[in-house]
């Protein structure tokens, strides 16, 4: 029997199935923009039977030019902050949502290693969600581990972020935790 590489193992808690069920219940769709995760979020979602009911597709925007040209991330922001930035993540989520005509967009960008990037240390990750109403939320993560562990945790984190936003109390909890934003 061949072992599955650590980076390809399923997220153990079934968060992909949970977000797809929530989206299906609501009749909503999802698009994904990935940088450091290189398609792992899309792979996790499409491993769930029936994913096509809600999952529209994904863009693996590894190159900065793809973030700018395909996802519409602001060129001045990229020049100033680099690709590893919370605003870049939020713009990626909004860009893929618009580009793939989905209700929701999520995105990952960060440094999985082995070297720092754009002045950011290995383990710096930003995940983001763009909601149907156009609002966006980006979350900063500081992850430990090797490249595969950082990528795997990034997948789990962006799906958990979306699950929280989709849950009935997601927005109320967000408002409470962030002082009414």
CATH number, domain containing residue 129? 3.90.950.20
Alpha-carbon gap, residue 71 to 98, rounded angstroms: 9
Q: Does residue 7 fall inside a structural domain?
A: no
83: closest CA among 36, 20, 130, 139?
A: 36
Which residue range forms the structural domain that includes residue 139? 15-170
pLDDT in tens, 119-172: 999 999 999 999 999 999 999 999 999 999 999 999 999 999 999 999 877 554
Q: Does residue 59 fall inside a structural domain?
A: yes
Q: Does residue 101 fall inside a structural domain?
A: yes
Residue 60 bridge partners (DSSP): 34
Pairing outcome for strands 124-130 and 136-142: antiparallel
Q: Does residue 44 fall inside a structural domain?
A: yes
Whole-model pTM over 0.85: yes
Q: Does residue 159 fall inside a structural domain?
A: yes
Number of domains in the chain: 1
Q: Does residue 175 fall inside a structural domain?
A: no
Give me the chain's average pLDDT, please: 89
Q: Does residue 55 fall inside a structural domain?
A: yes
């Amino acid at each position: 029997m061949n072992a599955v590489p650590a980076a390809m193992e399923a997220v153990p808690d079934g968060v992909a199935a949970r977000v797809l069920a929530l989206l299906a219940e609501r009749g909503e769709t999802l698009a994904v923009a990935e940088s450091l995760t290189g398609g792992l979020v899309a792979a996790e979602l499409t491993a769930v039977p029936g994913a096509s009911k809600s999952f529209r597709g994904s863009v693996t925007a590894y190159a900065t030019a793809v973030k700018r040209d395909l996802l519409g991330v602001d060129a001045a922001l990229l020049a100033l902050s680099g690709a590893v930035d919370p605003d870049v993540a939020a713009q990626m989520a909004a860009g893929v949502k618009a580009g793939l005509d989905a209700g929701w967009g999520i995105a990952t960008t960060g440094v999985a290693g082995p070297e720092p990037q754009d002045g950011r240390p290995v383990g710096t990750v930003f995940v983001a969600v763009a909601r149907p109403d156009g609002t966006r939320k980006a979350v900063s993560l500081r992850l430990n581990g090797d490249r595969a562990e950082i990528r795997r945790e990034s997948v789990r984190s962006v799906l958990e972020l979306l699950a929280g936003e989709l849950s009935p109390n997601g927005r109320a909890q967000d408002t409470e935790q962030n002082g009414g934003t």
